[in-house]
Chain A
């Protein structure tokens, strides 16, 4: 089980229980959706089955692959329990854009979870783009994650977090 780290409204990082089951394809066959607990679906699966699951009162999150357009989820955002953004490799930076658009363009305030190749070295960038839950793949502890996030006392540009860029600090 990968570890889940969450960042709370005060910016504190802590280990979190993960109540969600991520429904993935197995050998090209969509896995069955068990029980009535919280689930994470792919975008395609959500578009097919999301309405039914939601109206059954279930908590549903959607996983967005790095080549999928976050815009396709725009109208559904208020109904979602979380959005999981996939980093298939840490070098694939598309999810950073998705995260920023979720926060800045669509005003999404729910959980944005980084999944996949989620490494400590990327922690600062992820937090700045508005990601607040991390399914870490390098075994980082919440303390290590927090230290990596706070490595730099200053930032140079505006992003999806509340940090004041250098020019604002100077003003």
Chain B
């Protein structure tokens, strides 16, 4: 993985020092909260319902054991012993004290981490495929390009005061694990007809109150042209994106109001005027960054492992192997997904002890590599098949081996009304209620089912792209939930359709139950919930849920 050098470190030190001065001025009363707000937001420090929340960047969801241990340490020292992994592959601490924030940033800087651009109307942390460098599906390592974007976008002098926040995702596999089509810019690495590497460029996707699946504006952008082309897109947006209405300020609104064709024309015209030789990164620097993602020292191993196969005699392990273990490009290795979705727990939360354990396992068994997924789980990307039973046992003992990846209890939920100042309704208890309906057997029987819950229209819980999406709404001071069906954030991206009138909190889990039972009776063959929905449509689901309400 990419290692910070002296330049990166000095930059972080300067950043942490600047913030310490700003917090000092605030604590001394030299500046007001109004003046301080934009400064703290530049460093990922939000004021939430009960406390400050510090959001820490995990660039493209990738970290090593040293960094994970530092997060555990911060959780113990400055929070309540846990942290929350987010749908942006970041981590946030929900119980931060203002006076501690500078020390937290210093502790982060000591392990090459920071909170830069985790809030504000700037280019946010670039997200990527959590299986990058491990999956055989990819045509190139997307992290190379994420790192290129990280450096280019860090304190970008022209693009730090955009109309609104800006999110970029990169993937290089057919199977999209990064939801690229619901990002401001989604980049899919592909080989062109001539074999050359290029990006298909999608612009103007997004969630929030007006969701869009991004249109493709360029089929094949040669990879070495990336930065000049991004500059063109961002410049068109910076100049023409709306600034009069916060709800219409994202690039998706600009793209949809101009039309994809006209937007593309403007980008291409701007691009033609840019001195691309100066704007693109030189090959030498690309090569330096690429070297940081060189193939790891994998051992030559047989493709199957006796120890792994033998362990399947234990049905619990067999289930884990089926649901949480994925194919690796290197024979004899596997990708192990660590579930942060234990039934009854808060989705995405990890305790300090759990973080330490994952760090230990990564160091011993996963070439010191850890990933965060946008579905709020962790990944040990390079585990020898022989070691999977050992890793499983350790995870199981710590409550991290719930065999539910991509299943009904692997729910994405935003912090909702338990923490978030913008929320209409709680999301976490709803997720817990639903998860409780799906024990391991039933979850397995139902198969892939992505349930996503947001506590308000801002859609941090990605409900628009849930197979079942759930949105908290406020009805005269009471928490209600609007259900929608048929969304997907993957390669077959689509937006979910609203099922019908919102239901009260105590009816949500029942309604989901009914939806699932309806699916099971309608399912043909191996169809996923999403496929059945796409085949039979909304009607049978709607009937079933609202018939019961009478």
Contact = CB atoms under 8 A, between A and B. Distances in A.
A158 B158 contact: no
8 contacts: A91-B121, A104-B275, A121-B38, A125-B160, A129-B158, A152-B15, A157-B156, A171-B285
A118 to B, nearest CB: 13
B14 A167 contact: no
Given A156-B152, A167-B285, A96 B157 contact: yes
B52 interface: no
B78 interface: no
A97 B39 contact: no
B238 to A, nearest CB: 5
B64 to A, nearest CB: 21
A161 to B, nearest CB: 8
Interface string B517-545: 00000000000000000000000000000
A157 B14 contact: no
Given A104-B275, A125-B160, A154-B11, A167 B235 contact: no
A155 B238 contact: no
A151 B18 contact: yes
A80 B140 CA distance: 50
Interface in A49-94: 69, 90-94
A105 interface: yes
A93 B18 contact: no
B257 interface: no
A128 B157 CA distance: 6
B271 interface: no
Interface of A: 69, 90-94, 96-97, 100, 104-105, 121-122, 124-126, 128-129, 151-159, 166-167, 169-171
B476 interface: no
A166 B151 contact: yes
Contact of B273 (A90, A92, A105, A170): A105
B281 A167 contact: yes
Interface residues of B, number: 37
A93 B162 contact: yes
A119 to B, nearest CB: 9
Given A152-B11, A154-B7, A93 B154 contact: no
A93 B15 CA distance: 21
A167 B278 CA distance: 12
Q: Which 5 A-B pairs have the closest CB atoms?
A: A93-B161, A128-B157, A167-B285, A125-B157, A156-B151
Contacts of B42: 121
B158 A151 contact: no
A90 B278 CA distance: 28
B243 interface: yes
A97 B275 contact: no
A156 B156 CA distance: 8
B5 A158 contact: no
A97 B38 contact: no
Interface of B: 5, 7-8, 10-11, 14-15, 18, 38-39, 42, 121, 151-162, 235, 238-239, 243, 273, 275, 278-279, 281-282, 284-285, 288
Given A91-B161, A92-B161, A151-B14, A156 B155 contact: yes
Contacts of B156: 156-157
Nearest to A92: B243
Contact of A159 (B38, B39, B158): B158
B14 A156 contact: no
Contacts of A158: 278-279
A97 B282 CA distance: 23
Given A97-B238, A124-B157, A154-B11, A170 B162 contact: no
A158 B231 CA distance: 11
Nearest to B10: A153
Given A96-B158, A152-B11, A170-B7, A157 B151 contact: yes
Contacts of B243: 92, 94
Contact of B161 (A90, A128, A154, A169): A90
Contacts of A151: 14, 18
B158 A153 contact: no
A169 B7 contact: yes
A97 B239 contact: yes
Contact of A94 (B11, B15, B239, B281): B239
Given A125-B157, A129-B157, A154-B11, 16 more contacts: A93-B159, A94-B238, A96-B160, A104-B275, A121-B42, A122-B161, A124-B155, A125-B160, A128-B157, A129-B158, A152-B11, A152-B14, A157-B154, A157-B156, A159-B158, A167-B288
A97 B158 CA distance: 6
Q: For A125, A167, A170, which residue has the most chain B Cβ atoms within 10 angstroms?
A: A167
Nearest to B13: A153
A125 B120 CA distance: 15
B479 to A, nearest CB: 33
A158 B281 CA distance: 10
Nearest to A159: B157
